[in-house]
Amino acid sequence: MKNKIFMYLFIFVVLLLIFQYVNSKNILESYESKFTKFEEREQRYQDSIVLLQDQNFDLKLFNLEYNDDAFSYFDDQGYNSLELIPFIKDELYKLNNYEGDDHPIVPYVSMTNNKILINSIKLLNHKWLIANFTDGKHWGEMLLTYELVDGKELKFKLSEYLMYPIN
């Protein structure tokens, strides 16, 4: 009787050990597959970060805020560059307040009942800027030169412009 109890106990322990081994092995394989997926996902994210950093660098190429030569030009003239950038944009946006049909800078007349307005501006360097304009339905872009006269007066000169056709 004693031998049978030990034999049943031994068989029970062996079955318990086999169950624990199989269960642990399945858990370990599950963790390894999840870890592999996380490593692959991390690698994709790292690649995406590198790509976005490259795109960000490309966007900074023609931008006054990242152009040290243009900043030094303004500094040499005695202007505070950080205050000058918003001033230039504000002066151009002020031109949106006009009477009549003709915008002071935009060479097109509105083809809708709305006024043509300058939407966004990107300062390229200490002499050029790009702006886009729209009347709500039609839109275009223009290249302007600007010059500071007597400290706080800006003169804008239209260099190139285009209106996109409606599809």
Place of tokens 């990242």: 66
Q: How many residues does the chain have?
A: 167
Per domain, the residue ranges of the chain are 1-60, 64-163
The sign of the torsion formed by the CA atoms of 155, 68, 90, 116 equals positive
How far is the C-alpha of 54 from the C-alpha of 160, rounded, in Å? 29
pLDDT in tens, the chain (167 residues): 788 888 889 899 999 999 999 999 999 999 999 999 999 999 999 999 999 999 988 888 888 888 888 888 888 888 888 888 899 999 999 999 998 888 899 998 888 888 999 999 999 999 999 999 999 899 999 999 999 887 778 999 999 999 998 87
Provide the pLDDT for residue 82: 82
Q: State how far the Cα of 145 lies from the Cα of 160, in Å rounded to an integer.
A: 10
